[in-house]
């Protein structure tokens, strides 16, 4: 199975770090100026699924401070004439239990459009990545980060301002591949912005750079 765990491990660590900054760093000018009313996202997004590791459901206006208890949104960027669309969602169950999901779609020949994007492909031009952290506040040695390695994400509609679709598949815990997950009835419908933060701080900027780096490696892998 050609599954590049390093990509998902990098993204898992960044997701946890980014969320911790969003929740706790009151000294960051960038973070404290972003809110559901002044932030980049103006309309709510949704993302939900059922799985063998529990269900996930998010609905609300995306906010890096997690002012809203639940939300989903997407940002898009272009690199080497390729468009990448990243969807994020979180659900604050409690102060000690925060679920997070991210999913990315890209096409090695250019623009992301409607169609099927397989997870961990070995051929073709389309690729999708998907990660689920059941609890980003879990600091124990048994932290779980599930990545889908089979299945597909299907984009049913996409524009400059919104993206919607469905997904399902199976995968493993990037930190313990003996733990598996099956996801069904996945669906999302979120607004899209061209960057995720108004005036990002150093850590937020680094996170975006590393996300792009990880996605770039996956694109290069299937282009070979």
pLDDT band at residue 206 under the 50/70/90 scheme? low
Q: Give the span between the Cα atoms of 88 and 28, in whole angstroms.
A: 21
Neighbouring C-beta atoms of residue 138, cutoff 10 Å: 15
**pLDDT recorded at residue 138:** 77
**pLDDT recorded at residue 26:** 33
Higher-pLDDT residue of 178 and 12 is 178
**pLDDT recorded at residue 214:** 60
Q: What's the whole-number mean pLDDT along residues 155-171?
A: 95
pTM for the predicted model, two decimal places: 0.77
Rg (CA), the chain: 16
- Domain boundaries, given as residue ranges, for the chain: 5-223
* 6 has pLDDT over 70: no
Which residue do the tokens 């059922």 mark? 50
Burial 32-59 (b: 16+ CB within 10 A, else e): eebebeebbbeebbbbbbebebeebebb
**pLDDT recorded at residue 77:** 77
* SS percent in the chain: helix, strand, coil, step 5: 20, 45, 35
Higher-pLDDT residue of 34 and 16 is 16
Q: Which residues share a beta bridge with 189?
A: 46, 164
Q: Are β-strands 70-79 and 176-193 bridged in parallel, bridged antiparallel, or unpaired?
A: parallel
Share of the chain above pLDDT 70, in %: 67
* 36 has pLDDT over 50: no
């Amino acid at each position: 199975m050609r599954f590049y765990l390093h990509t998902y491990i990098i993204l898992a660590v960044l997701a946890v770090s980014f969320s911790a900054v969003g929740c706790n760093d009151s000294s960051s000018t960038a973070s404290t100026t972003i809110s559901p009313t002044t932030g980049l996202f103006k309309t709510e997004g949704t993302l939900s699924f059922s799985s063998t590791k529990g269900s996930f459901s998010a609905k609300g206006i995306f906010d890096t401070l997690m002012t809203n208890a639940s939300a989903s949104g997407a940002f898009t960027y272009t690199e080497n004439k390729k468009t990448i669309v990243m969807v994020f969602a979180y659900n604050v169950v409690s102060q000690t239990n925060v679920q997070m999901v991210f999913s990315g779609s890209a096409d090695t020949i250019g623009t992301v459009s409607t169609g099927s994007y397989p997870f961990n492909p070995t051929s073709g031009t389309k690729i999708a990545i998907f990660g689920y952290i059941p609890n980003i506040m879990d600091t124990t040695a048994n932290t779980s980060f599930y990545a889908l390695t089979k299945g597909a994400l299907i984009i049913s509609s996409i524009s400059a301002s919104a993206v919607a679709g469905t997904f399902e598949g199976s995968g493993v815990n990037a930190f313990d591949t003996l733990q598996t997950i099956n996801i069904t009835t996945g669906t999302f419908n979120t607004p899209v912005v061209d960057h995720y933060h108004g005036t990002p701080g150093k850590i937020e900027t680094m996170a975006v750079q590393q996300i792009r780096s990880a996605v770039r490696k996956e694109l290069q892998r299937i282009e070979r």
